[in-house]
């Protein structure tokens, strides 16, 4: 589609003069809107009606425009004024439309020379919302996180927290980074952080960003890697972008953060026009951006938008209630760059500041005593600012006989949205672990070592031939020849076993262990007499039987090599000495 330039002399009407009872309707030319319009006034004075009348005329005149509404009422109203022939031109952005979320990825396809602008806009938005929650280290880490994600394909803001917690995902992102400073930060500096250093900043970042990305209303919008529309194309093709950020439906913080991202993205789209030759720039149409309660989205980068946007035919109309809502950085940018200034009734503090703009025609008393729909303004006329004069805003434009709201929403969904189920599948896939398959372990294998790893052996053990498994409940003990079958030995009640044959190997036994001893008494060795030889034999047999039972138990727990290397037998000289009769 060949761009058609805006008619620079086209006028949109918004007020009528009230001096000397003469009612003359007037407005502002398209070429004078490039210097921006600033509107201030207390609530209920008519600001919203003024903005609505201007936006409706842009829609009906076929202009490209965007309206950011933090309340939702004006956004709904504008849909009713869209004519039938422009139904397909509308991009309806409503985060609370959970069944058909639109895709908006602020990190997608950013020109390398503009990446710092994205990061600056995001950081300004974050810091504006969480004023007292940022440290220098947090900001430093988050900046490098965003810069790294901007270089990796298919990155979204959901990657911020994952970048800080998932090592494998972090490695994947770093592999795409070409900026040497960013790469050095992740491979050297961040990798060398102690646990204490990381704990000072990382959890705080995750908590703050997580509050934003965890909300399904916002997550489903910003979590899709590919945006469903392009702001630059929307500007060049005169699209109508109606952004409903009703804070009653999405929350105050989400409204501010999402609005800040959208303003930044629109500004970047306008900046991309800098790449076209002057002859093409002249052919590009103007694009009008309306921002009600703009202080919610006016971060540090907003000052740059006011000073640079007009070069790329992005024309702003901004409104709010009182001056103190603006940051100190934004305030001088507003008063230094806007061409048309309109004030409704204001408070005494604001009147004191505005008197410098409207004196000597109007005083502080005049500014605080105006009626509803009455305004004082300095109007840009053919590139020059007029002297201050008074006027009265026009009544709301009558509603059209036929409204196409449902058709507009259905058309926008069909062109620029995806069903919720599809979007959540994309996000679910993003959260799948990136751990290599060879390193992955199932839960059942975590409790045992891998089969390929050798089992650690004790140093004193020798590894014999494989031994069949032993049944612990019942142990068979070798017996002497007269026994026809092995006797079961229970651990709790051992069964006495007869004296073994000489061929059976037994452990050495000391007879001195049979008699009880105390810690204070020593027993003198005694030689048995003929009278008690039989008693000694019986005692020896009992000792040998006990030793055999214990030896049999040990054989079930020790390698066979222990039996062969340590023959368990009673030395002959001991037996002769014990059995000797005087």
Q: What is the pLDDT of residues 67-77, one digit of tens each?
A: 999 999 999 99
Place 432 in a pLDDT band, splitting at 50, 70 and 90: confident
Q: What is the pLDDT of residues 353-411, one digit of tens each?
A: 999 999 999 999 999 999 999 999 999 999 999 999 999 999 999 999 999 999 999 99
Q: What distance in Å separates the CA atoms of residue 86 and residue 56, rounded to the nearest whole number?
A: 12
Q: Among residues of the chain, what percentage have pLDDT more than 70? A: 73
Distances (CA, A) of 16 to 191, 372, 374, 377: 65, 14, 10, 12
Considering only 337-346, 404-413, 515-524, which range has the smallest mean pLDDT? Answer: 515-524
pLDDT given at position 574: 56
SS3 392: strand
pLDDT given at position 441: 42
pLDDT given at position 107: 92
Q: What is the pLDDT of residues 269-326, one digit of tens each?
A: 998 998 889 888 989 999 999 999 998 888 777 888 888 888 899 999 999 999 988 8
Place 551 in a pLDDT band, splitting at 50, 70 and 90: low
pLDDT given at position 544: 64
User: Please, are residues 386 and 379 in contact by the beta-carbon 8 Å criterion?
Assistant: yes
- Average per-residue pLDDT for the chain: 80
Average the pLDDT over 98-109 and give the result: 91
Considering only 194-208, 220-234, 409-423, which range has the smallest mean pLDDT? Answer: 194-208
Long-range own/partner contacts, residues 50-54 (CB < 8 A, 24 or more apart) = 50/14, 50/15, 50/319, 50/342, 50/393, 51/290, 51/292, 51/317, 51/319, 52/77, 52/78, 52/396, 52/397, 53/12, 53/13, 53/14, 53/393, 53/394, 53/396, 53/397, 54/12, 54/14, 54/290, 54/317
Nearest CA to 105 out of 401, 341, 412, 418 is that of: 418
- Give me the residue spans of the domains in the chain: 11-104+240-416, 114-219
SS3 annotation, 74-101: HHHHHHHCCCHHHHHHEEEECCCCCCCC
Report whether pLDDT(450) > 60: no
SS3 30: helix
pLDDT given at position 533: 65
Q: Which is more confident, 383 or 130?
A: 383
pLDDT given at position 113: 87
Q: Which helix (H) or strand (E) holds 424?
A: helix 420-430
User: Please, are residues 515 and 526 in contact by the beta-carbon 8 Å criterion?
Assistant: no
0.75 exceeded by pTM: no
Place 554 in a pLDDT band, splitting at 50, 70 and 90: low
pLDDT given at position 54: 98
Report whether pLDDT(420) > 80: yes
Q: What distance in Å separates the CA atoms of residue 359 and residue 370, rounded to the nearest whole number?
A: 16
pLDDT given at position 580: 54
Q: Which is more confident, 385 or 581?
A: 385
Considering only 138-152, 463-477, 545-559, which range has the smallest mean pLDDT? Answer: 463-477
**Superfamily designation of domain 11-104+240-416:** P-loop containing nucleotide triphosphate hydrolases (3.40.50.300)
pLDDT given at position 490: 46
pLDDT given at position 565: 47
Report whether pLDDT(506) > 70: no
- Which DSSP string corresponds to 213-251? HTSHHHHHHHT-SS-SS-HHHHHHTT-EEEEE--HHHH-
266-269-273-274 Cα dihedral, nearest 10 degrees: 90
Q: What is the pLDDT of residues 209-251, one digit of tens each?
A: 888 888 888 899 999 999 999 999 999 999 999 999 999 999 8
């Amino acid at each position: 589609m060949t761009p058609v330039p805006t008619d620079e002399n086209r006028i949109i009407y918004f007020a009528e003069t009230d001096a000397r009872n003469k009612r003359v309707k007037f407005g502002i030319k398209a070429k004078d809107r490039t210097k921006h319009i600033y509107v201030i006034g207390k609530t209920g004075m008519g600001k919203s009606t003024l903005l609505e009348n201007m936006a409706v005329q842009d829609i009906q005149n076929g202009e490209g425009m965007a309206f950011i509404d933090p309340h939702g009422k004006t956004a709904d109203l504008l849909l009713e004024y869209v004519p039938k022939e422009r139904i397909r031109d509308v991009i309806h952005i409503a985060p609370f439309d959970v069944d058909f979320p639109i895709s908006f990825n602020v990190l997608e396809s950013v020109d390398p020379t503009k990446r710092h602008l994205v990061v600056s806009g995001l950081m300004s938005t974050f810091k504006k919302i969480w004023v007292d929650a940022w440290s220098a280290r947090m900001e430093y880490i988050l900046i490098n996180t965003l810069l790294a994600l901007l270089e990796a394909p298919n990155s979204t803001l959901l990657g911020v927290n994952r970048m800080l917690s998932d090592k494998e995902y972090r490695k994947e992102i770093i592999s795409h980074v070409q900026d040497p400073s960013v790469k050095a930060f992740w491979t050297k500096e961040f990798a060398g952080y102690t646990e204490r250093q990381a704990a000072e900043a990382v959890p705080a970042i995750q908590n703050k960003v997580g509050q934003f990305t965890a909300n399904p209303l916002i997550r489903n919008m910003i979590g899709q890697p590919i945006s469903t529309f392009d702001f630059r194309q929307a500007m060049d093709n005169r699209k109508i972008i109606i952004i409903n950020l009703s804070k009653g439906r999405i929350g105050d913080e989400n409204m501010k953060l999402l609005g800040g991202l959208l303003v930044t993205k629109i500004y970047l789209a306008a900046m991309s026009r800098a790449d076209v030759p002057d002859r093409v720039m002249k052919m590009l149409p103007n694009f009008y951006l309306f921002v009600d309660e703009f202080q919610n989205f006016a971060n540090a980068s907003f000052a740059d938008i006011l000073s640079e946007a007009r070069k790329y035919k992005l024309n702003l109309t901004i409104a709010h209630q009182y001056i103190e809502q603006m940051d100190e950085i934004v305030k001088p940018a507003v008063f230094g760059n806007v061409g048309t200034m309109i004030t409704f009734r204001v408070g005494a503090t604001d009147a004191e500041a505005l008197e410098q703009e409207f004196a000597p025609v109007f005083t502080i008393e005049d500014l605080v005593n105006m009626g509803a729909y009455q305004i004082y303004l300095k109007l840009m006329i053919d590139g020059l600012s007029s002297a201050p004069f008074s006027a009265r805003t026009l009544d709301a434009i009558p509603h059209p006989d036929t409204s196409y709201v449902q058709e507009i929403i259905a058309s926008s969904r069909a062109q620029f949205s995806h069903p919720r189920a599809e979007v959540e599948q994309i996000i679910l896939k993003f959260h799948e672990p990136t751990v290599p398959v060879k390193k992955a372990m199932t839960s059942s294998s975590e409790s045992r070592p891998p089969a390929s790893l050798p089992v650690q052996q004790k140093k004193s053990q020798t590894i014999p031939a494989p031994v069949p498994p032993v049944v612990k409940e019942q142990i068979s003990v070798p017996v002497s020849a007269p026994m026809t079958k092995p006797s079961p030995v229970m651990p709790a009640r051992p069964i006495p076993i007869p004296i073994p044959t000489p061929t059976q190997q037994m452990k050495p036994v000391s007879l001195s262990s049979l008699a009880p001893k105390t810690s204070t008494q020593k027993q003198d060795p005694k030689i048995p007499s003929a009278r008690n030889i039989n008693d000694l034999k019986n005692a020896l047999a009992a000792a040998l039987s006990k030793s055999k039972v214990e030896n049999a138990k040990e054989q079930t727990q020790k390698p066979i090599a222990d039996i062969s290397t340590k023959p368990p037998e009673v030395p002959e000289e001991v037996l002769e000495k014990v059995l000797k009769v005087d």
